[in-house]
A = this chain, B = another copy of it.
Amino acid sequence: MSIQQRRERERAERERLIVTAARDLAEAEGWDAVTTRRLAAEIEYSQPVLYSHFKGKGAIMAAVAVQGCADLAVELRAARTAAKGTREALAAVGRAYADFARRRPALYDAMFTLATDLPFATSEAPAPLKEAFGELLAVVEPITADGEDTALLTETYWAGLHGLVTLMRSGRLPKRAHEERLALLIGHFAAGGE
């Protein structure tokens, strides 16, 4: 019984090792550098070991993404609770979101741009994912106008943030004036539509 438990513990430990190695490697050299061979070398095991833990490379990236969502949720919460008013909270969380994407681009990609089979918009979505979205929801709720749906408005605000960071990082928007664009987005949402 105890032997079995120890083995499972070691196995879980190795699984964590894989995920963190993938994240570190991706953050250091980008996802293109994260090959199964390279990852196997990093954890000092052979390639097929990865497949005894995850269905494939995509599943490893999904695990990294979930972990990333937890990180993001923490940062968004910190920004939200530190802000004074409702409008300041909206702005602070928006800035924290953009800052997260700027500081950790590879992690952000795994979470929100690269193809994933992770359930997002359903009730089976992983908890960290819901938490991160919940932080956005919490700051959008107070600025929701009459007749507007808070959830939908949050999704729309999120989309605005996501568009800004992705277009900028792919070089499709100039890096300068990023702050101004962010302020415009926040301003237009805080002001209320219709």
A residues neighboring B (CB under 8 Å)? 112-113, 115-116, 120-121, 148-149, 152-153, 155-156, 158-164, 166-167, 170-174, 177, 180-181, 184-194
A167 to chain B: which residues have CB within 8 Å? 112, 155, 158-159, 162
Once the chains bind, are B152 and A181 in contact (CB under 8 Å)?
A: yes
| A88 CB to nearest chain B CB (Å) | 14
Chain B residue numbers with a CB within 8 Å of A177 are 149, 152, 155
A184 touches B156 (CB 8 A): yes
Q: Taking the nearest CB of chain B, how far is it from the CB of A136, in angstroms? A: 13
Question: Looking at the complex, which one of B115, B149, B152, B173 makes contact with A155 (CB distance below 8 Å)?
Answer: B173
A112-B172 in contact (CB<8A) = yes
Question: In whole Å, how far is A176's beta carbon from the nearest beta carbon of chain B?
Answer: 9
Give the chain B neighbours of A190 by CB distance below 8 A: 193
B166 adjacent to A162 (CB under 8 Å): yes
Q: Could you write out 17 A-B pairs with CB less than 8 Å apart?
A: A113-B170, A115-B170, A116-B171, A120-B171, A152-B180, A152-B181, A156-B184, A156-B185, A156-B188, A158-B163, A159-B160, A159-B167, A160-B185, A184-B193, A188-B188, A188-B189, A191-B193
Q: Other CB < 8 Å A-B pairs besides A113-B170, A162-B163, 14 of them?
A: A113-B166, A115-B170, A116-B170, A121-B172, A121-B174, A149-B177, A152-B181, A156-B164, A156-B184, A159-B160, A160-B160, A162-B167, A188-B189, A191-B192
